[in-house]
Amino acid sequence: MEQPKTSAPCGLSAATCYAKYRGKCKEMVEEACRQDPTLTPVRGHYICWSWGKQAHWWAVKPDGTIVDPTVGQFPKPHIGDYIPFDDVIECSHCGKRVAEEHATFYGSYAFCSGSCNIRFVGL
């Protein structure tokens, strides 16, 4: 994935914000929740206008306001949509939706069965 080259809200270059925040969503949300116990952590996806559906973590205030300490990693922060995770994954091979606890995983790919996993990798 190409790093963004536009200006970013963290006050640094977009590439610097990307490096500062990418992959740190959960830990930064957990820290925000420790500092403000009224926040609730949320696991889900951020729908980025440029990169599409991205696995992500953010927090929510009691009034529903989203607090996202790592939104600066995205090319155009605060423009995307937040979709909470519903504990169901979509198979990377066939598209079937299954409960996460019943899925199998290979790297960052999720599958509804070992058969789909094998087919996906070409065996």
> What pTM does this model have?
0.69
Q: How far apart are CA 62 and CA 39, in angstroms?
A: 7
50 phi, psi to nearest 5 deg:
-100, -45
pLDDT tens-digit profile, the chain (123 residues): 443 333 344 555 666 777 777 888 999 999 999 999 999 999 999 998 888 888 899 999 999 999 999 888 887 777 889 999 998 999 999 999 999 999 999 888 999 999 999 999 888
Q: How far apart are CA 14 and CA 3, in angstroms?
A: 8
The pLDDT of residue 77 is 72
